[in-house]
Amino acid sequence: MPENGSIKLSTENNIGTIEFHHPKGNSLPGKLLRKLAEKITQAGQDDDINVVILKSKGEGAFCAGASFDELIAIDDLEEGKRFFMGFALVLNAMRTSPKLIIVRVQGKTVGGGVGIAAAGDYTFAHESAAVKLSELALGIGPFVVGPAVKRKLGTAAFSTLAIDAESWHPAEWAQTNGLFQQIFESGKKLDQEVNKLATRLAKSSPQAMKELKITLWQGTDYWDSLLSKRAEVSGKLVLSDYTKNFINDFKSK
């Protein structure tokens, strides 16, 4: 159903395009996260796809991160870990895909959405695409997405986002610190450049791109166990009174 969100994979001219959507700012509930991970894996295994574009629907927010409705409903550690494992599955699917993944960020992105942007092999963004890691303000912390963001931005910039959890950082800041490779003033130009690179890569050697992907992600083989442990930490913290009170106060505004 549209109100529950959707994940779509389409293929044209050896380009696989994955689009996710949720009516609440393209947020990502647990079921949607698992479907997204499955589609990324499916695209990576499809011989008709040489490169992947990952995007969200619409011209508003790229991704509002975790679903607050789902977070507030978590009432035990197993359920909490399972929810945050959804983000871990998406990041690991992007990491292990043999295909290069281009991420298109058209608007503001927070939390898990920043992790997805960071896990892209090449990320384009609109100049309105401000970023924020709000997890610490919720009483959680960006533990699951942290490795992806830190890998792309470095420790100093990751610390800035992780600690200053209530501030938006503009797209220019994100580009300067390596999260975005290019930013554009218009959505039309953004789409043109995304499609131009995807078309060029679709005609490139699949084996060479696969080997490049391995090189780019060298040293991350331990992420399966790392992100699982991080999901458990987040799953425990989300049960705290602090987090539940914060979400309730936010939803009542």
Q: Which tens digit of pLDDT belongs to each residue from 186-235?
A: 999 999 999 999 999 999 999 999 999 999 999 999 999 999 999 999 99
Q: Return the pLDDT at 3.
A: 65
Nearest to 127 by CA among 176, 172, 192, 169: 172
Q: Return the pLDDT at 1.
A: 45
Whether residue 216 lies inside any domain: the answer is no
Domain with 179 in it:
2-202
Measure the CA–CA gap between 68 and 54, rounded to whole angstroms.
23
Tokens of 195: 């499609």
Tokens of 29: 């509930």
Cβ proximity of 54 and 103 under 8 Å: yes
Q: Return the pLDDT at 2.
A: 53
Q: Angle 59-54-58 (CA atoms, 0-180°, nearest 5)?
A: 15
Whether residue 229 lies inside any domain: the answer is no
Whether residue 31 lies inside any domain: the answer is yes
Domain count, the chain: 1
Nearest to 102 by CA among 19, 158, 22, 215: 19
pTM of the model: 0.95
Whether residue 251 lies inside any domain: the answer is no
Measure the CA–CA gap between 201 and 102, rounded to whole angstroms.
10
Whether residue 207 lies inside any domain: the answer is no
Measure the CA–CA gap between 96 and 126, rounded to whole angstroms.
27
Residue with tokens 């393209």: 26
Give the CATH number for residue 65.
3.90.226.10
Tell me: the pLDDT tens digits for 37-60? 999 999 999 999 999 999 999 999
Whether residue 195 lies inside any domain: the answer is yes
- Residues (pLDDT < 50) of the chain are 1
- CB neighbours (10 Å) of residue 40? 28
Residue 247 CB partners (closer than 8 Å, separation 6+): 68, 71, 72, 138
Run of H or E including 247:
helix 241-252
Whether residue 237 lies inside any domain: the answer is no
DSSP string, 89-144: HHHHHHHH-SSEEEEEE-S-EETHHHHHHHHSSEEEEETT--EE--HHHHTS-STT
Whether residue 14 lies inside any domain: the answer is yes
Measure the CA–CA gap between 14 and 17, rounded to whole angstroms.
10
Q: Return the pLDDT at 227.
A: 97
